[in-house]
Structure formats: structure tokens, C-alpha cells
């Protein structure tokens, strides 16, 4: 599977404690890859729009990626995590 040289950038702003909305966790490498598959129309139309089916196909595609391609997605996920930690230094994930 061919991935782009540059990974698209999305920002998830940190919200102040006074706002009721939750702080969005940064996506991991697989979630970035899955979003890219959906956004760029890389998924076959016959899988439909069910998230369960999309995730199954995305998981199979992820496992087929070579290590070089996975490194790009992991690097972008790490960058997003660092950005999140800078913008929300006191945030602690609590489900």
C-alpha cells in the first residue's frame, strides 16, 4: 500500500478547564492511517460505511504496510502527542 510522503496535519486544540467539552486525545499511528484511508478514498466502496467494516479493512491494510511506511505514521503520531503535551501540559487521561 502506498502512503503519501507527508502526513496531513490536524490540530486538536486544548480546551480551558471552564469549558464542559473534553480534551481530545491525540490519535495514534493507526488512527492517523485509518483517517487517511477514509479521507483519500483509498477504501473499496463495497465495504460500505459501517465503522466496524472500515476498521477491519484498515487493520488488514496496516498489517501489510512495510516498516518504513509505519515509521512515517508513528513519527506523525509522536509529533501530535508532543504538540498535545505542549498545549495541554496538565492534562491527564481519565476514562
Average pLDDT of 21-42?
Answer: 90
Residue 32 has pLDDT above 90, yes or no: yes
63-76: burial string, b at 16+ Cβ within 10 Å, e else: eebeeebbebbbeb
The x, y and z cell numbers of residue 84, run together, are: 498535545
Average pLDDT of 60-75?
Answer: 96
CA distances from 59 to 20, 21, 29 (A): 33, 30, 12
Average pLDDT of 73-81?
Answer: 97
Spell out where the chain has E strands. none
Q: What does residue 28 show for φ and ψ, rounded to 5 degrees?
A: -85, 180
Contact status, residue 85 vs residue 23, Cβ threshold 8 Å: no
Q: What is the pLDDT of residues 46-59, one digit of tens each?
A: 888 889 999 999 99
Residue 28 has pLDDT above 80, yes or no: yes
State the pTM of this model: 0.73
Amino acid at each position: 500500500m502506498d502512503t503519501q510522503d507527508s502526513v496531513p496535519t490536524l490540530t486538536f486544540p486544548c480546551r480551558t478547564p471552564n469549558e464542559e467539552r473534553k480534551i481530545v486525545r491525540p490519535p495514534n499511528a493507526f488512527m492517523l492511517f485509518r483517517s487517511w484511508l477514509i479521507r483519500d478514498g483509498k477504501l473499496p466502496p463495497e465495504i460500505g460505511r459501517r465503522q466496524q467494516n472500515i476498521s477491519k479493512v484498515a487493520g488488514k491494510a496496516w498489517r501489510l504496510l512495510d516498516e518504513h511506511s509505519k515509521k512515517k505514521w508513528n513519527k506523525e503520531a509522536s509529533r501530535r502527542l508532543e504538540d498535545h503535551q505542549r498545549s495541554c501540559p496538565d492534562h491527564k487521561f481519565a476514562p
